[in-house]
A and B are shown apart, each in its own frame.
Chain A
Amino acid sequence: MKTVEMPKMGDTMEEGRILRWIKQEGDPVNKGESLAEVETDKVNIEIESFASGVLRKILVPEGASAPIGAGIALIGAPDEPLPDSLSGNGSVKASATKEMEKGTTASEGSEQTLREAKGDYRAKQTSVQSPTDAGSQGRIFISPIARRIAEEQELDYSRVEGTGPNGRIIKLDIEAALAQKQETLAPSTPARLPILEATEATEIPLTAMRRTIAKRLSQSMQTAPHFYVTSVIDTGKLADLRRQINEYAQKESDPVKVSFNDLIVKAVAIALVRMPQVNVSFAEDRLILKKQVHIGMAVALEQGLIVPVIRNADQRRVLAIARESQRLAELARAGKLRPEDFSGGTFTVSNLGMFDVDSFTAVINPPESAILAVGSITPTPVVVDGQVVVRDRMKVTLSSDHRAIDGATAARFLQEVKRLLEEPFGLLL
């Protein structure tokens, strides 16, 4: 039984998707005949069989993807028994590899002996532990000194391309990456700041939270091209609705007070369900559309900032959102949030309305692709039917990652949010 592996058809290819099987299970196959059509990151291509026999088993169905080197089908004699473990891709791959190794030992015994005599296991290791092997995907090969330098210089080496054997990241690669980073950062390198006398300034060592904020938001600003769309929202009806809700909610067995922010969270959640292309992450070679809507809400703390997450905000009713946001805000201030309370967000709302700001722009919270910055509600003279009257207005600014979201999409999303907040009954329906 021979295993057909997902071939590597390009330098950047990591996996391929089976578009269609040209041969079906039971079909006879000749060497060189097309077996299946595969979609890679760049092209669609037909893969040819390297063996003759019968296509005994398809391991990866149409529409599914497999990493390079993973078994996608088995070719053998019509009566040859299939391997015992056909439960999952990995196990098939493992047993197929073992079988192939056994074959090597028997048929190429002399070469094996010579290799052992020379004490050279390189070839063997490569076939079993190649970094693209299904089992070891995600592991980064890096030499000890390269890792040490990267850690000392706080360089994220997960994106550095290794040029050593096995794709190993070597010292040279790290030095090149550092040189590049240095070039980018040169103008603002902290080391170039004038050193102040102790009497002129106080040095405060960074807390872990401050370090995280610095790292993540620098990363966001440096990698995600931000653009901003601002909208002015009439909050008259929203204020009325909020008053009515709160009158009702006071009499609940578990009384709760709904804030403007809770209503904004609800509006954003509904808008994200309607426009999933905003509920997205940019992942270098693909966009990841999130099926769930988890809204982060930025909470200011004395020592910094944290963004607890209201999970499935689209499915929660307004009172449930209000209860959850109060619970999370209290935990945040008490420093008792668990990691799951502030991870996994798909969109963030940052509200500085209580500080009397007209409007502001926020930095996207990666891996999210957009954030809504909410300003104060301000009585504003506006023209209605030719008359100057005073209405409550609120400015909101959406920051979007242009790699994932285009201007028109951002504008339409903001329109949707505006409509939901200006005709707020939709929030309850």
Chain B
Amino acid sequence: MSANLVKIGPLSQPVDIGDEIAQFSPEIEAEIDQHLAKYPVPRSAILPLMFIVQRERGYLDPPGVAYLAKRLALRFTDIWEVATFYSMIYTEPVGKYHIQVCRTLSCKIRGAGKITEHCSQKLGIKPGETTADGRFSLSEVECLGSCGTAPMFQINFDYHEDLTPAKVDQILASLP
């Protein structure tokens, strides 16, 4: 569960959806159709589709919201209320690599704080921030189900477990 750190803005700021609607290639449209075919009600596909929009556009941007509203025959607000509920749906840009350090109890007592601090120092950003070049975002998140291999973080969808500062250096250096 990602923390609320990357998406503080949208809840208090009005967002202008505008007139632009995102467009996707036929392959991605076909992938979206596959998800829709799983459910008797199109709205059920809202989260899988949001992840696709996010993957293709970096985050759920206003044209992406407009696209989902059109594709699922829903209102913008229907899309927005769901988007703002789930911590893995980004309504603001995030870095290319989103480092999500687990902060919950099992990780905490096995040194999660040191891992966050180490990332923070190395990247020059605090949790909740993104590097100026847009390469890294850092967050502290709630339990990721990796308690037996604590401390750990998730970079985008990849789990990295049994971390030490040296291992963190290695992982960060290996990213393309």
Asked whether A and B interact, the reply is no
Q: A: which residues have CB within 8 A of B?
A: none
